[in-house]
Amino acid sequence: MSPVFELRRIEKRFPGIKALDDVSFACNAGEVHALAGENGAGKSTLIKILSGVYQADSGTVLRDGVPVHFATPLDALKAGISVIYQEFSLLPDRTVAQNIFLGREPAGRFGRLDQRAMRAETERVLQMFGERRRFGADTLVGALDVAEQQLVEIAKALSLDAALIVMDEPTAALNEAECALLFELVDRLRAQGRAIVYITHRMPEIRRLADRVTVLKDGKVAAAFDGVPEAGVIVNAMVGRDIGDFYPDPPTAPPGKVRLKVSGGGNARLSGIDLALRAGEIVGLAGVQGAGRTALAHALFGLAPFERGTLTLDGEAVRLASPREAVARGIVLLPGDRKAEGLALMQPVIDNAMMTARAFSPLAGHPDRTRHGTTADMMAAFRAIDLRAASVDVPIGSLSGGNQQKAIVARWLAMDPKVLLFVEPTRGIDVNTKAGIYQRMRALADAGAAVLMVSSDLTEVLGVSDTVVVMAGGRITATFGRGASEAAVMHAATDAPQDRAA
Ligand SMILES: Nc1ncnc2c1ncn2[C@@H]1O[C@H](COP(=O)(O)OP(=O)(O)OP(=O)(O)O)[C@@H](O)[C@H]1O
Ligand SMILES: [Mg+2]
């Protein structure tokens, strides 16, 4: 039986780069085919050729063994390919139903839009998400959070009844419960006989979901497995070598003076927060979704400021009422959600990086000085973080998703901050680059900065942090030094408030 869809010997060039080089790839009915590879390896490009967004320079696309040509995404859609993109394509000012039916609205009587049919079909698809859904067909997409928007993207694919469903890093913005729900959905789609292409940087997901794995490296197929090998084998194929020491060595010197300190800090989401961030120290914040980790990082950045308690920076009492004030004092927050960052996709990489740095810079009134000083710093930061771009003058939208993320990280690193607040810094970033970001964090700490990291990846928190602070219910419930066990941290993260109530 021929594959439902197949790519044969595909080549694709962009100015200055060969994104795909002689790549073949097949999708079988009732199978999940995982696609792995470092940032910029060519994964999204492959999908875009399969789905008619780009045209291959050479090679063939086949449907049930017959060559086809998709001139537009609509052609591919009609042939039964539905894609959930890494960067969402939803319109915020339309409802969930309108987004799901965008471009293929059902016509009712007299050729008018059949609103009722649209809403009914939307509700039918949304049923699949069960209890966990807090929105309906008429909710405006702009009012949904990232995870909910992801569900809408999935609902859209489901409503299309596609033979092939492509998911490009679908779990990047989901919490654990949402991931579990997605995995169930994928299992169900496979059982229905659909073909699924699943792109992810997370090895456990590949192990959990995939039937076969293809690894891309620098635009070529580095390995194609008929089955799912050990994670280490996949990573080796991705990186081309053993990555060895993944986490940086702990510092040799003890932490230095206290840089940022909060005592009795509280607001609507937080209470009784006592925390000191020291020069040379990486503090990891652990906890389950909703524990208050992000709220704490946001409070320290002046985004959702403390309403109670005191705050000192280098021993001096400060009020941080806005991010602008925080940045002016050398406190920066690096978010993992590139969408929320409002990148100007058509503008050059360097301008995107400079824009935000300048918007928050205390030297904002002196563009020349800032521009000069920072461009050099920025270039150094780009190099340090291994940003892969043809040049810094190409539009940031032409970079792979992970490299867009790196550009965001680089622009803050270039500012030589006193306190760095990392929120999910490695989301959507490949293993090799993750190691680079950890090294960079360590180097910044060693140079005297205080570093706080919020991450949902407990292995990452334990591997990187000198001190692990655990939160639950908006409070700090435990603090551990290096070498804490996963079990102890999980216990403090999940047990505390319930225990007391029981
Ligand atoms: N529209 C475009 N114009 C120019 N170059 C592009 C364009 N789209 C992709 N590229 C380049 O092609 C290469 C492959 O990018 P692609 O987005 O396929 O990577 P990826 O494997 O999906 O990476 P990630 O894990 O970061 O999402 C990169 O070097 C990227 O900069
Ligand atoms: Mg991609």
Q: Are 319 and 311 in contact (CB under 8 A)?
A: yes
pLDDT at 492: 86
Q: Is the CB of 273 under 6 A from ligand 1?
A: no
121 within some domain:
yes
Residue nearest (by alpha carbon) to ligand 1 atom 2: 398
- Per-residue pLDDT averaged across 484-501, rounded? 68
Residue nearest (by alpha carbon) to ligand 1 atom 12: 19
Q: Is the CB of 161 under 6 A from ligand 1?
A: no
Mean pLDDT, the chain, whole residue set: 84
Q: Is the CB of 335 under 6 A from ligand 1?
A: no
Looking at the 3D structure of the chain, how many domains does it have? 3
Residue nearest (by alpha carbon) to ligand 1 atom 25: 39
User: What distance in Å separates the CA atoms of residue 171 and residue 202, rounded to the nearest whole number?
Assistant: 9
CATH number at residue 457: 3.40.50.300
336 within some domain:
no
Return the exposure string of 215-240: e unless at least 16 CB atoms fall within 10 Å of the residue's CB, then b.
Answer: bbbbbebbbebeebeeeeebbbbbbe
Instruction: Dump pLDDT digits (tens) for 22-44.
Output: 999 999 999 999 999 988 899 99
250 within some domain:
no
Q: Which residues contact 384 (CB under 8 A, 6 or more apart)?
A: 410, 413, 436, 440
pLDDT-derived band at 131, boundaries 50, 70, 90: low
193 and 87 inside one domain:
yes
pLDDT at 374: 60
pLDDT at 336: 66
pLDDT at 22: 97
Q: Is the CB of 45 under 6 A from ligand 1?
A: yes
pLDDT-derived band at 443, boundaries 50, 70, 90: confident
- Cα 67 from chain centre: 35
CA of 361 to the centre of ligand 1 (A): 31
Length of the chain (residues): 502
96 and 48 inside one domain:
yes
Least confident among 43-52, 164-173, 243-252: 243-252
446 and 404 inside one domain:
no
326 and 273 inside one domain:
yes
pLDDT-derived band at 339, boundaries 50, 70, 90: low
430 and 364 inside one domain:
no
185 within some domain:
yes
- Per-residue pLDDT averaged across 241-257, rounded? 78
User: What distance in Å separates the CA atoms of residue 225 and residue 211, rounded to the nearest whole number?
Assistant: 9
Instruction: Dump pLDDT digits (tens) for 316-333.
Output: 999 999 888 898 898 988
pLDDT at 393: 85
Of 364, 395, 416, the position where a domain reaches its end is 416
User: What distance in Å separates the CA atoms of residue 97 and residue 155, rounded to the nearest whole number?
Assistant: 10
Return the exposure string of 437-467: e unless at least 16 CB atoms fall within 10 Å of the residue's CB, then b.
Answer: bbbbbbebbeeebbbbbbbbebebbbebbbb
CA of 425 to the centre of ligand 1 (A): 20
335 within some domain:
no
Which atom of ligand 1 lies at the shortest distance from residue 38's CA?
25
User: What distance in Å separates the CA atoms of residue 83 and residue 169, rounded to the nearest whole number?
Assistant: 11
Q: Is the CB of 433 under 6 A from ligand 1?
A: no
User: What distance in Å separates the CA atoms of residue 186 and residue 196, rounded to the nearest whole number?
Assistant: 8
- Per-residue pLDDT averaged across 155-180, rounded? 83
248 within some domain:
no
CA of 400 to the centre of ligand 1 (A): 4
Name the most confidently modeled range: 89-103, 235-249, 363-377. Answer: 89-103
Instruction: Dump pLDDT digits (tens) for 350-388.
Output: 877 776 555 554 443 333 334 444 677 777 778 877 788
497 and 393 inside one domain:
no
262 and 162 inside one domain:
no
Q: Is the CB of 17 under 6 A from ligand 1?
A: yes
Q: Is the CB of 405 under 6 A from ligand 1?
A: no
264 and 214 inside one domain:
no
Q: Is the CB of 403 under 6 A from ligand 1?
A: yes
Of 386, 416, 446, the position where a domain reaches its end is 416
pLDDT at 384: 73
Given a cut of 90, is residue 259 above it in pLDDT?
yes
Ligand positioned closest to the Cα atom of 431: 1
Q: Is the CB of 292 under 6 A from ligand 1?
A: no
Residue nearest (by alpha carbon) to ligand 1 atom 31: 399
Of 416, 436, 459, the position where a domain reaches its end is 416
Instruction: Dump pLDDT digits (tens) for 50-88.
Output: 999 999 999 999 999 999 999 998 899 889 999 887 666
| The CA-based dihedral angle spanning residues 362, 375, 443, 243, taken in that order and rounded to the nearest 10 degrees | 140
- Cα 92 from chain centre: 19
Residue nearest (by alpha carbon) to ligand 1 atom 18: 42
Name the most confidently modeled range: 169-173, 230-234, 297-301, 346-350. Answer: 297-301
245 within some domain:
no
Helices H / strands E in the chain, number of each: 17, 20
In which domain, by residue range, is 363 found? 343-416
382 and 430 inside one domain:
no
pLDDT at 362: 44
162 and 53 inside one domain:
yes
CA of 200 to the centre of ligand 2 (A): 9
Which atom of ligand 1 lies at the shortest distance from residue 428's CA?
25
Q: Where are the beta strands (DSSP E) in 271-405?
A: 273-278, 282-286, 308-313, 316-317, 331-335
Which atom of ligand 1 lies at the shortest distance from residue 201's CA?
25
Q: Is the CB of 238 under 6 A from ligand 1?
A: no
71 and 154 inside one domain:
yes
Higher pLDDT, 130 or 82: 82
177 and 224 inside one domain:
yes
Pick from 11, 20, 44, 57 the residue to mutate for probing ligand 1's pocket: most ligand atoms within 8 Å of its CB. Answer: 44
pLDDT at 250: 85
Least confident among 220-229, 272-281, 355-364, 384-393: 355-364
CA 238 to each of CA 40, 41, 412: distance values in angstroms, whole numbers, following the listed order: 11, 9, 28
244 within some domain:
no
